[in-house]
Structure 1
Amino acid sequence: MLVTEYIENRSLANILFNDNILLEWKQRFNIALGVAKGLAYLHHECLEWVIHCDVKPENILLDQNLEPKIADFGLAKLLNRGGSNQNVSRVRGTVGYMAPEWISSLQITAKVDIYSYGVVLLELVLGRQVLDLAVDADEEVHKVLRELVGTLAQVLDGEQSSSINEVVDCRLSGHFDDTQVRTLIRLAVSCLDEERCKRPTMESVVQTLLLAE
């Protein structure tokens, strides 16, 4: 019943990437915060450690107030907090949102969800799917992401608002909160770090977003 209620209002992908619908900046920021709170609950508050393994806009359902709900746990992994957690038997997730450790035989941790969340943050800022960026560049999506992260890191180093304007979804026509945009970009850059140990926890992401509200 809960899932049906949200399906009626469609997913974040249906709305964010729809040229006929414009998500205002405040709505995008609130969605970023809501998803972060949901993942923080899965990673830190559940009795057992839940890794979603397929965080993406299609799996973020929105109610009539555009409040997000993380859905589709078909690939999720339930792990013991005190166990070795080496028993993830196969690659899980969606191309473009998958952390590099999925294909490098490293132990899978909650950091894979954090990487995927970083991609979602980028899409909320850009208003475009990362897969579309890869098609435009005719390159592998992971390479495009690495290059984009490098570009965004340079944008953060600059203080001119014009640089931010060039990055944010043009459909917003400049109507966004500069501090919040910089916060989301900074979080996206850290969440997409190739070295998973450098990625933040979802608890720290939530705290950072709350400070920027």
Structure 2
Amino acid sequence: MLRSFASQVPRVSSVAASSTTAAGNQCLRNLSTANQKYAQCQQQQQRPLNRRLEVDLHELTMMQCLEDLTLIDVRQPAELQFQEQIPGSVHIPLGNLRDAFQLSEADWQQKFNTAKPNKINKGIIFYARGPIASSAAVEIAHKLGYKKSRHYVGGWEDYCIQNNIPFLKVNGDSTAPGLSSEDDDSTIKQHYNYHYYNPDLHYL
């Protein structure tokens, strides 16, 4: 009977070792994902800017201090359930941008509680989570005659990293600056569609 019991011991140890190995592999995968995200952010910051179409956080901050811009957030409403906005920005989802710029000055003022940007004298800076939606916004604006418009390439992700603030809204649980958990990140990405159109925000 003792021999029978002893024969089971290696099997238990084997199962425990297997579980430990699996947990360790998962930790390594999570660490690798975090490192990849950080490396992507660093690479984006090191890439030379096209000053004709792009700005970094330093230039954006200077323009805000001089009150020489209209800052427009083109993310979807669903994204703003999880993320904050850069102070002083106006929220116009990308899918509504073209119609918004066709508003009269009076209607723009009423909708956004700020003056409509001038095509000649005042710059427009777009931003989103990263560079994709904001670059599309620049293309739309240029076609409508707003040739001074540019975009903040790093977007909300870079803003969080540079200012050492959480990437997601803090609801009891803190989130590391600039990085979200894998679960939260996938939840947000389910809503991504940068040709998003919300009829409730459509300007007739």
The reply to whether TM is greater than 0.5 is no
TM-score tier, shorter chain, comes to under 0.3
Larger Rg: 2
| TM-score, normalising length: structure 1 | 0.22
